[in-house]
Amino acid sequence: MPRQTFAFLYPLIAIVLWAGNVIVSRLSAHAIGPQAITFYRLLLAVALLSLFVGRQTWRNREAIWPHLGAFAILGFLSMCLFQSLSYLAAETTTATNMAVFTALTPLLTIALSAVFLGEPPTYGVIFGGPLSFVGLLYLVGGGDAAAVMRDGIHPGDALMLLAAFTYALYGVLLKRWANAVPTWQSTYMQALFALAAMFPAFLATPAPLRQLNAETLPLIAYAGALASVVLPFLWIAGVQKLGPNRCAIFMNLLPVFTAAAAIVMLGEPVKPFHVIGSAVALAGVACAQFFRRPISRARSVAEPEAVRDV
């Protein structure tokens, strides 16, 4: 029992670090360009990973070579597009909203699996999807779900929804293109391709938005070291000990930790519509995670791929 309890600390601490990364995104919103901080965090992450897995990756190059195309696409989706969209969204939405949209990833992953992997939809997705949608409308509408229909969705919320879809697609493709390359070597190769892809965008960023200073260096250090190296290590360890589904449940805690940190560090107010909208949206996610019986009995639904990179 103590060992089992200790194992839960891996995904729990990973989610705490993820919440901190959302706060970092908000703090960086007007201090550094989204492409610049994405490039810098990748540069630091690659440098750190090179110390631990660089040599092993080179030795395993023959097994890695056939999968270079997949690694390039996966790295672009999770480490370039998802991160850039998140940083850009942080300019016009709250940390709490960002966390709620990110927490939708497991539900979206299950839904996209039905499309790209041919897995039959589950009862949980059929009922949980609309429930989460209603919760999101209430949340982004400030307590008035109809406000979204009248006024439209805020740019930051729309960007975070797109970011969540991007990361869900990453999870599905990660499963579709499963190979025998060790997890850390796969992550390292994705980071290398992502770094190369972000370099042109970094050069195109205006000089004032890519300067390193006392304000931006701590943000880059957190994003590049804790969020890009330590967090995946803890999450992967949690998946190995608890399984992907049990770890995915911890995603529901992301808005809770993020909201608490946002109150203390950013002074963001948490109003009743935040609590109600988030609770309804996360109830839909939980529904999809717990009620996994497929509508079609011809096939059983496989477990969704766990989130491995942040």
- Write out the DSSP string of 159-170: HHHHHHHHHHHH
pLDDT of residue 251: 85
Please name the residue that has the structure tokens 């946002």: 262
In a domain, 296, yes or no: no
CA distance 293 to 296: 9
- The single-letter DSSP state of residue 271 is -
pLDDT of residue 143: 80
pLDDT of residue 105: 87
pLDDT of residue 79: 94
In a domain, 58, yes or no: yes
In a domain, 120, yes or no: yes
CB 128 within 8 A of CB 286: yes
Domain of 23, in residue numbers: 2-290
In a domain, 134, yes or no: yes
- pTM of the predicted model, to two decimals? 0.85
In a domain, 299, yes or no: no
Q: What six digits make up the tokens of 33? A: 């360009």
In a domain, 70, yes or no: yes
Q: What six digits make up the tokens of 119? A: 């897995």
pLDDT of residue 302: 43
In a domain, 307, yes or no: no
> Which stretches of the chain score pLDDT less than 50?
1, 298-306
In a domain, 132, yes or no: yes
Q: Which residues share a beta bridge with 122?
A: 294
Cβ burial, residue 159 (10 Å; 0-12/13-18/19+) = buried
pLDDT of residue 5: 62
pLDDT of residue 249: 80
- Total count of domains within the chain: 1
CB 88 within 8 A of CB 220: no
